[in-house]
Chain A
Amino acid sequence: MSRPTEIDQGAIRHLYVHLPFCVHRCGYCDFVTAVGRQDEHGAYAGALLAELERERWRLASAVETVFVGGGTPTFTEPDALRRVLAALPETSELAIEANPETVTPALAALLHEHGVTRVSLGAQSFRPRLLEVLERVAGPDDVRRAAHTLRNAGFDNISLDLVYGIPGQSAADLDADLADALALEPEHLSCYELEAKPGTRFTHAHGEELASQEEAMESYAERVVETLTDAGYRWYETANFCRPDSGRELRAQHNLAIWRGADYLGVGVGAVSTLGGERRRNLPSVGRYTAALGAGEDPPREVERLDAETREVERLMLGLRLDEPLAVDADGRADVLDRDALARLVERGLVERPDGGVRLTPRGRLLGGAVTAELLA
């Protein structure tokens, strides 16, 4: 464990908490998850709280955001979940991920009691056929019911996750999914293109089909953006949309901070922290995590050193995902920008320079990967 220093002390304003348990591991998932093991939830919660205590000195007195992710945080056995939520520092945004089938009135009440301000609901799709391909447990009606349950419990900031580019998904399927999602009037939507990550069971089963429909699905990202912006949502990050309610900030504050390059502390198995010049990742084994903390030690971790240039590359990579201009000319920053490429991309209408900052145009954002690679010297 690192010794506190004047600079480190209380510097971190964003906390991530990982609850890895799931009822079932979906084929496309590459997160750190643990299926079942209800009997371990209590022990895990204990270990997690122990880690949080060991790291608490890093946290600012006013923590701005806490995000509880998974796994399926809401699948965690209620007593364990309650203990974790109760121990979290006071914050203005406390967000949690939930799977629709886990959202009962009791759970909603529990979350609300413990100060959760934002729930991100993993809907993924409203087509039963596609949900089956994704191996999701919940059906379309579970999603609707969960949304209403949350509303009834008093939640006024609900986000829905959607996935597109599912094997067998037609453009009409996508339109229908978007319409079904909009009908629930969520404050926020995250729409991800399905990534068939190498080594997942899903890629093994569907990789070829995905490759063959790649061209047909090329327009889906555009379609998503068009539909949601037409519905009045703000496309504020590559995959994220929010309602522009007046007087309310509905962007996901925790993620927004990370996209803006802020440091964050992650606790729990597999959790990642970025702490100045260091990024560390707790190893994914629940057993070893619990055992180490039970023995009064730090959990097993790997550490990556980040030099100033790397952090600047990351700041650009993340910041260019947003719809707000990114400052690039501030003194003291490593210069990682290829100025010729910047001029070229401006000329091609992929990048614009509002107030000297850099922002991708809508088309540039759809080509964000290539544009960013080109912008970096």
Chain B
Amino acid sequence: MDQSRIRNFSIIAHIDHGKSTLADRILQLTETVSEREMRDQLLDSMELERERGITIKAQAVRVQWKGHELNLIDTPGHVDFTYEVSRSLQACEGAVLVVDAAQGIEAQTLANAYLAIENDLEIVPVVNKIDLPSADPEAAAAEVCELLGGAPQDVVRISAKTGQNVEQVLDAIVERIPPPEGIADAPARALVFDSSYDQYRGVIAFVRVVDGRLATGAPLHAMAMGTDFDAEELGFMSPQRVPVEALEAGEVGYVVTGLKDVSRLRVGDTLTTRRGGAAIALPGYKDVKPMVFAGLFPSDSDDYPELRDALEKLKLNDAALFYEPETSQALGFGFRCGFLGLLHMEIVRERLEREFDLDLLVTAPNVAYSVKERNGAWVEVHNPADMPRDPEEVQEPYVSAQVIVPKDYVGAVMELCTERRGRFDHLEYLSETRVLLTYELPLGEIVYDFYDQLKSRTRGYASFDYDVAGFRDGELARVDVLVGGEQVDALSLIAHRDAAYERGKLLVERLREEIPRQMFDVPIQAAIGSRVIARETVKAKRKDVLAKCYGGDITRKRKLLEKQKKGKKRMKQVGGVEVPQEAFLAVLNLDGERKR
């Protein structure tokens, strides 16, 4: 196909503003799928994605419209996947920015729009859901123009749900988004913007050919990772795989690589041919690092091998997932896992529980810390239990956070950000009623309970997004929890010195409620180093015996005893104290509950 007839675009939007519905309508309108084949939100193939209304893994679909080849590159819609979004956008010349007519611009609208602008994309603004009674298309259009410049009449007003005006979006894509301008006879360079794993065919890379061409069977080379493989099959999605002989400059499609390990082909890498290949890779490759860590333990220690297998399988499709074995005295064998962010963590956890039918204990999430040791070397710490008690210096990751909120809540948000050690950066009125606040905040505060607090203090009106901004020095303390005088490794946490007391107190109070009374007093303490900062006691039971036991009762009493014994087996022994798993769960959920 002549490049002048190709248009490569993404749809970008805040969560639930209708991105996937618009993609569905486009597939129908262009007769890429028949009515009969249509499933709602076809592009989101995972059950979980459909349920949560978000797209986790991006894919690309080719559609035909009025003599043009349009490649729709879907993007993940969440803050944790910013890097993947940026790679998808780099594969495009334009983006359709969808804004909910009732909600207006939200934090992710902004974040995505900025990413699109950074990538020099032509933006086609669309106001969606104009069929809603609460819709205010003019106000939403005005906000969009304020953000992007341009005239309100250039904003396409649609209802993706009913299909109203969706053809205008397709026309605007053809008219306004520039065609690709790759050099057809240059050495091949193709940007990997996504990948997935097929159990029969191995890693399948989704690529945008920038220059040159990729031909079936050609020996290829991934320039950043240095991985070599052959293009076993090339093609495009429609939305099923349609094999072709070659992918030309400007085109979007897939490459079947035969690789058995997703980590050998990372998003953002550049594919070229092994013979006569390009010398310089496409810009922008980044090794994405997990920033949020948590321990994952099977509730039933017998399930450890299942958990390991499940993580291995998930990792095939999720190069950003990190895991390594972890042994906790309290929780047994498990894995310390690294995630891009909290949502990523929740998704992994839910997939493990749902798709692999595992019952998990998840420790409170923490961020990655950078610690300077006595010998002057800097190490990264992923687990509070590994934090040296007296480190030379500790740094923690900070983010640049954008919060959009109705102006009445500005005070509440500023108060929250200040409480959470935020540094004010910027305030801007997006419209008469809505304000954009920018703060620098420690990521550790965000993984604690920031998001939940933000929602509750703004009655759910705030929207929020962040980028990792780098590591900064932190006045941090490691808080340990001791039960019966023995440290419970899984409950250690790292907190800012000013918050350590409160958090330690909360933990021991909750543990006291959850640990059943034993045959002796059980002290529960929170400590920083050897200094106890909070203490509670579970008082000993005074009586635990069945009063009556004669000849007719023996079987029943024995069964009760066996049940009691079995109950003990489910308990974890800490400092000679039987702690039911539920107690850990309740304490670990302390954070979780606040987040939900």
Residue in B520, B541, B542, B548 whose CB lies within 8 Å of A239: B548
Min C-beta distance of B539 to chain A, whole Å? 10
Closest B residue, CB atoms, query A350: B519
Decide if A221 is an interface residue (CB 8 Å cutoff): yes
What's the tally of chain B residues with a CB closer than 8 Å to chain A?
A: 25
Complex contact A279–B554 (CB within 8 A): yes
Decide if A323 is an interface residue (CB 8 Å cutoff): no
**A251-285 with Cβ < 8 A to chain B:** 255, 258-259, 264, 266, 270-272, 274, 279, 281
Q: Which residues of A contact B576 (CB under 8 A)?
A: 344
Q: Which residues of A contact B555 (CB under 8 A)?
A: 272, 279, 281, 304
Instruction: Give Cα A220–Cα B547 distance, bound, in whole angstroms.
Output: 12
Which of the listed residues B548, B561, B576 has the most CB atoms from chain A within 10 Å of its own CB?
Answer: B548
Decide if B426 is an interface residue (CB 8 Å cutoff): no
Complex contact B546–A369 (CB within 8 A): yes
Q: Which residues of A contact B519 (CB under 8 A)?
A: 348, 350, 367, 370-371, 374
Q: Which residues of B contact A298 (CB under 8 A)?
A: none
Decide if A13 is an interface residue (CB 8 Å cutoff): no
Complex contact B541–A195 (CB within 8 A): no
Closest A residue, CB atoms, query B540: A367
Min C-beta distance of B416 to chain A, whole Å? 40
Min C-beta distance of B126 to chain A, whole Å? 60
Contact (A270, B554) CB under 8 Å given A195-B546, A348-B520? no
Instruction: Give Cα A350–Cα B326 distance, bound, in whole angstroms.
Output: 36
Contact with A along B543-573 (1 / 0, CB 8 A): 1111111111011011011001100100000
Residue in A279, A304, A318, A365 whose CB lies within 8 Å of B545: A365
Contact (A222, B543) CB under 8 Å given A274-B554, A348-B520? yes
Contact (A368, B545) CB under 8 Å given A314-B558, A348-B520, A373-B564? yes
Closest B residue, CB atoms, query A262: B551
Residue in A218, A220, A271, A369 whose CB lies within 8 Å of B561: A369
Complex contact A366–B545 (CB within 8 A): yes
Q: DSSP majority for the B interface?
A: loop
Q: Which residues of A contact B565 (CB under 8 A)?
A: 373, 376
Q: Which residues of B contact A310 (CB under 8 A)?
A: 558
Closest A residue, CB atoms, query B565: A373
Contact (A318, B552) CB under 8 Å given A218-B542, A238-B545, A368-B545? no
**B567-596 with Cβ < 8 A to chain A:** 568, 576
Complex contact A370–B561 (CB within 8 A): no
Q: Which residues of B contact A259 (CB under 8 A)?
A: 549
Closest B residue, CB atoms, query A376: B565
Q: Which residues of B contact A258 (CB under 8 A)?
A: 550-551, 554
Q: Which residues of A contact B546 (CB under 8 A)?
A: 195, 238, 368-369
Decide if A372 is an interface residue (CB 8 Å cutoff): yes
Instruction: Give Cα A270–Cα B552 distance, bound, in whole angstroms.
Output: 9
Residue in A192, A218, A255, A374 whose CB lies within 8 Å of B568: A374
Min C-beta distance of B140 to chain A, whole Å? 56
Decide if A193 is an interface residue (CB 8 Å cutoff): yes
Instruction: Give Cα A191–Cα B545 distance, bound, in whole angstroms.
Output: 13
Instruction: Give Cα A363–Cα B548 distance, bound, in whole angstroms.
Output: 18
Instruction: Give Cα A110–Cα B268 distance, bound, in whole angstroms.
Output: 100
Complex contact A222–B549 (CB within 8 A): no
Complex contact A218–B543 (CB within 8 A): yes
Residue in B542, B548, B554, B561 whose CB lies within 8 Å of A222: B542
Residue in B547, B561, B564 whose CB lies within 8 Å of A195: B547
Instruction: Give Cα A368–Cα B541 distance, bound, in whole angstroms.
Output: 11
Which of the listed residues A192, A220, A365, A373 has the most CB atoms from chain B within 10 Å of its own CB?
Answer: A373
Closest A residue, CB atoms, query B545: A368
Min C-beta distance of A324 to chain B, whole Å? 16
Complex contact B561–A376 (CB within 8 A): yes
Instruction: Give Cα A321–Cα B541 distance, bound, in whole angstroms.
Output: 18
Complex contact A193–B561 (CB within 8 A): no
Complex contact A192–B547 (CB within 8 A): yes
Complex contact A368–B558 (CB within 8 A): no
Complex contact B549–A367 (CB within 8 A): no
Instruction: Give Cα A222–Cα B544 distance, bound, in whole angstroms.
Output: 11
Complex contact A369–B551 (CB within 8 A): no
Contact with B along A349-377 (1 / 0, CB 8 A): 01000000000000001111111111010
Q: Which residues of A contact B520 (CB under 8 A)?
A: 348
Complex contact A272–B552 (CB within 8 A): yes
Q: Which residues of B contact A219 (CB under 8 A)?
A: 542-543
Contact with B along A271-306 (1 / 0, CB 8 A): 110100001010000000000000000000000100
**B315-358 with Cβ < 8 A to chain A:** none
Contact (A318, B561) CB under 8 Å given A238-B545, A238-B549, A368-B545? no
Contact with B along A312-325 (1 / 0, CB 8 A): 01100110010000
Instruction: Give Cα A353–Cα B561 distance, bound, in whole angstroms.
Output: 22
Q: Which residues of A contact B543 (CB under 8 A)?
A: 218-222, 366-367
Min C-beta distance of B513 to chain A, whole Å? 14
Complex contact B547–A317 (CB within 8 A): no
Complex contact B551–A367 (CB within 8 A): no
**B517-543 with Cβ < 8 A to chain A:** 518-520, 541-543
Q: Which residues of A contact B552 (CB under 8 A)?
A: 16, 31, 266, 270-272, 281
Instruction: Give Cα A368–Cα B545 distance, bound, in whole angstroms.
Output: 5
Contact (A192, B564) CB under 8 Å given A314-B554, A318-B554, A366-B543? no
Contact with B along A238-256 (1 / 0, CB 8 A): 1100000000000000010
Complex contact A321–B551 (CB within 8 A): no
Complex contact A238–B551 (CB within 8 A): no
Closest B residue, CB atoms, query A306: B555
Q: Which residues of A contact B542 (CB under 8 A)?
A: 218-219, 221-222, 366
Contact (A318, B549) CB under 8 Å given A310-B558, A373-B565? yes
Mark B residues whose CB is within 8 Å of A: 518-520, 541-552, 554-555, 557-558, 560-561, 564-565, 568, 576
Mark A residues whose CB is within 8 Å of B: 16, 31, 191-193, 195, 218-222, 238-239, 255, 258-259, 264, 266, 270-272, 274, 279, 281, 304, 310, 313-314, 317-318, 321, 344, 348, 350, 365-374, 376
Q: List 28 A-B contacts (CB under 8 A).
A: A16-B552, A191-B547, A195-B547, A195-B548, A218-B541, A219-B542, A221-B542, A238-B546, A255-B550, A258-B554, A271-B552, A272-B554, A272-B555, A274-B551, A281-B552, A313-B558, A313-B561, A321-B549, A365-B545, A366-B543, A368-B545, A369-B544, A369-B545, A369-B560, A370-B519, A370-B545, A374-B519, A374-B568
Instruction: With A239-B549, A274-B551 given, name 17 new contacts (CB 8 A).
Output: A220-B543, A221-B545, A222-B542, A279-B555, A313-B558, A314-B554, A318-B549, A318-B554, A344-B576, A348-B519, A350-B519, A365-B545, A368-B545, A370-B564, A373-B561, A373-B564, A374-B568
